[in-house]
Amino acid sequence: MIKKTILLFAVFLTINNVFAQENIVKAGAILGNLGVQYERSLSKHFSIIGQVGYSNITTTVDDVESKSDGIGYYLEGRYYFSSKKDLMEGWHIGPYYNSINTKDNNDLKTNISSFGLATGYQWIFDHQLTLEIIFGGGTLNIDSDIPEIEFLGDIGFLPHLGLTLGYNF
C-alpha cells in the first residue's frame, strides 16, 4: 500500500511539473465587470480567458439616480509576443467579448455588449503572483428598457480598461 501511495505521489508531482504554470486564476476588474477570471495557456504564445463577475450601472435621468446590477461575462483570446519570458507573461493582444446584463429595482433590464481588441502587459512575480493592465476598445451595443440609456449606443465605441491580480499555477 505504501509503495502504491509513493508511486501515485511521484506520478502526481511529475504531471504537476509537466503542466505547471499553464493556468492563472485572477481577481479582475474589467470596465463594468468585477469578478473572477481564469486564463489557460493553449501554447507558448496563445491563451484564452473567461471571467464571470458582478456588474453595477448607475444612471441619472432627470436628476433621478437609478442603480442596476447583475452579472457580467468576459471572454478574450490572447497572443503573447515575448518568447524569452515565462508562459503568459509580457505584452499581449487579442479580441475580446464583454457582456453585462443588469436589472434595477423596477425590473428594468439593461444589456450592454462590446466586441473589440484589447492589449496589455502581464507581469509574473516569483513565478506565481501576477499583475496585469489591460486597455483597448470596441463596439458598444445597448439594449435597455430605459430609453434614456439607449442613446449611449449611438456613440458606438466603448473604451476597454482593466486590472487583474492573480495566482499562476
Q: What is the pLDDT of residue 74?
A: 94
Q: Which of 15, 23, 146, 34 is nearest to 86 (CA)?
A: 23
Reply yes or no on whether the pLDDT at 115 is more than 60: yes
Q: What is the pTM of this model?
A: 0.80
**Residue 101 burial (C-beta neighbours within 10 Å; 0-12, 13-18, 19+):** middle
The torsion angle over the Cα atoms of residues 1, 10, 88 and 115, rounded to 10 degrees, is -30
The share of the chain scoring above pLDDT 70, in percent, equals: 85
Instruction: Provide the greatest CA pair distance for the chain.
Output: 74
Q: pLDDT tens-digit profile of 42-66? A: 999 999 999 999 998 887 767 777 7
Residues 30, 143: Cα–Cα separation, whole Å: 20
Q: Which of 74, 150, 162, 138 is nearest to 110 (CA)?
A: 150
Query: What DSSP string runs through 72-85?
Result: EEEEEEEEE--SSS
Residues in the chain: 169
Q: pLDDT-based confidence at 17, cuts 50/70/90?
A: very low
Query: Which structural domains are found in the chain, ordered by start?
Result: 22-168 (2.40.160.170)
The share of the chain scoring above pLDDT 90, in percent, equals: 57
